[in-house]
């Protein structure tokens, strides 16, 4: 597999006129996916049993009130997928989603970045250009699982790699959360759930394209 460093791959600006110009087209693309959700969800739909099975990170939110699971099959081995996962994050390799919305307008890496290939519990994979405390790595098993979570135990975001045959991988993601206030739950279900679906879908599809292009 090629390992080519990207100059500036981890330099996510806090703000710029250029990054703001990404917002409108990226927002329209996301809206289009949400409007076409019955068809758009097909590539990342879970298989029978995947939505109900236990995944890494579930223990971090023992009684979740929201659980969103998505998955995709990638024509590459888990060890070929892992380098793309471990370099995620703003000011790192990006999130492979709508870069104008979640990466300060900087294009996500389209190469493996050697200096971003290590992750330990406690490391921060920045959520936004200015974030310093999320997402925090709570569990990591190279070539198998990467779990983010908050300090309070109210949310987790997990990535699991499972081999499919000799040359394939099933990548499963699960976001779990709990809350105390009804209004928070309403916001999660009405607004954040569709947005999460759209951005998670884009991330998984872009990961598939990148990995398969280099495998």
Domains of the chain: 17-214 (3.30.530.20)
Give the tens place of pLDDT for each residue, 61-76: 988 988 999 999 999 9
pLDDT of residue 20: 62
Check: CB of residue 98 under 8 Å from CB of residue 202.
yes
Position 142 pLDDT exceeds 50? yes
Position 32 pLDDT exceeds 50? yes
Position 113 pLDDT exceeds 80? yes
pLDDT of residue 207: 98
Position 145 pLDDT exceeds 50? yes
- Mean pLDDT lowest among 1-5, 73-77, 149-153, 194-198: 1-5
Please give the average per-residue pLDDT across 185-208, as a whole number. 85
Please give the average per-residue pLDDT across 40-45, as a whole number. 87
Q: How confident is the model at residue 196 (pLDDT cuts 50, 70, 90)?
A: confident
pLDDT of residue 150: 87
pLDDT of residue 83: 98
pLDDT of residue 188: 64
């Amino acid at each position: 597999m090629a390992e080519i460093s990207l100059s500036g791959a981890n330099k996510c600006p806090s703000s710029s006129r250029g990054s703001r110009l990404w917002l409108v087209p990226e927002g329209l693309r996301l809206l289009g996916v949400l409007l076409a959700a019955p068809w758009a969800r097909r590539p990342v739909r879970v298989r029978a049993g995947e939505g109900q099975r236990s995944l890494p990170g579930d223990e971090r939110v023992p009684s979740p009130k929201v659980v969103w699971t998505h998955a995709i099959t990638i024509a590459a081995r888990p060890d070929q997928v892992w380098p793309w996962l471990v370099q995620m994050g703003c000011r790192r390799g990006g999130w492979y989603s709508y870069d104008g919305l979640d990466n300060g307008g900087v294009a996500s890496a389209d190469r493996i970045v050697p200096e971003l290939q290590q992750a330990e519990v406690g490391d921060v994979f920045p959520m936004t250009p200015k974030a310093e405390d999320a997402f925090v790595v709570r569990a990591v098993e190279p070539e198998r699982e990467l779990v983010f979570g908050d300090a309070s135990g109210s949310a987790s975001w997990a990535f699991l790699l499972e081999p499919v045959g000799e040359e394939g991988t099933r990548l499963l993601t699960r976001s779990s959360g709990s809350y105390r206030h009804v209004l928070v739950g309403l916001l999660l279900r009405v607004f954040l759930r569709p947005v999460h679906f759209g951005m998670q879908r884009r991330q998984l599809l872009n990961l598939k394209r990148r990995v398969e292009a280099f495998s």
